[in-house]
């Protein structure tokens, strides 16, 4: 089983046991992808989204237990049988860097090189130089929020 919070929920319920933790090998990052046309024509949609998302990031950083409560309530509202004690475990595992840093770009290049070697992709994009990897709207919103 791959993915949180389901793996922690299943483990807590005694349905599975953890054999390996792949996170130490693959530090997957959350990425926000936007349609260039929408970004150009309706940037306010992205500004609104990023304001909310950054507030969530602040809560995760400053009060992870409260973040876990909100997360649990959101899952339960959708019919998930999540328990607060399990979500606290999940939240402790979350690592988030909101911005596209050099480390993130290097990570993307490393993953692309591995995927090319495996034959999963034909061309290796250089994530350090392509204009599509742009977090300028996010950075502008963060600056306005004193994030």
Buried b (16+ CB within 10 A) or exposed e, 63-75: ebeebbbebbeeb
pLDDT digits over 85-140, tens only? 999 988 888 777 788 888 888 888 998 999 999 999 999 988 888 877 888 899 99
pLDDT tens per residue across span 8-59? 888 888 888 877 666 555 665 667 788 889 999 999 999 999 999 999 999 9
- Predicted TM-score of the model (pTM): 0.71
Task: For residue range 65-95, list pLDDT tens digits in order.
Answer: 999 999 999 999 999 888 999 999 888 887 7
Q: How far apart (Å, rounded) are the C-alpha atoms in residues 10 and 44? A: 39
| Domain boundaries, given as residue ranges, for the chain | 6-144
């Amino acid at each position: 089983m791959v993915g949180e919070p389901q793996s922690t929920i299943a483990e807590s319920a005694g349905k599975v046991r953890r054999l390996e933790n792949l996170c130490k090998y693959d530090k997957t990052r959350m990425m926000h992808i936007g349609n260039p046309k929408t970004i150009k024509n309706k940037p306010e949609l992205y500004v609104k989204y990023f304001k909310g998302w950054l507030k969530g990031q602040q809560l995760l950083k400053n009060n992870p237990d409260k973040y876990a409560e909100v997360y649990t309530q959101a899952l339960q509202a959708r019919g998930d049988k999540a328990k607060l004690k399990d979500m606290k475990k999940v939240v402790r595992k979350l690592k988030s860097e909101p911005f596209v840093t050099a480390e993130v770009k290097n990570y993307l290049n490393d993953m692309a090189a591995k995927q090319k070697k495996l034959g999963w992709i034909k061309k290796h994009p250089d994530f350090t130089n392509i204009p599509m990897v742009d977090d300028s709207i996010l950075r502008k919103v963060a600056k306005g929020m004193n994030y």
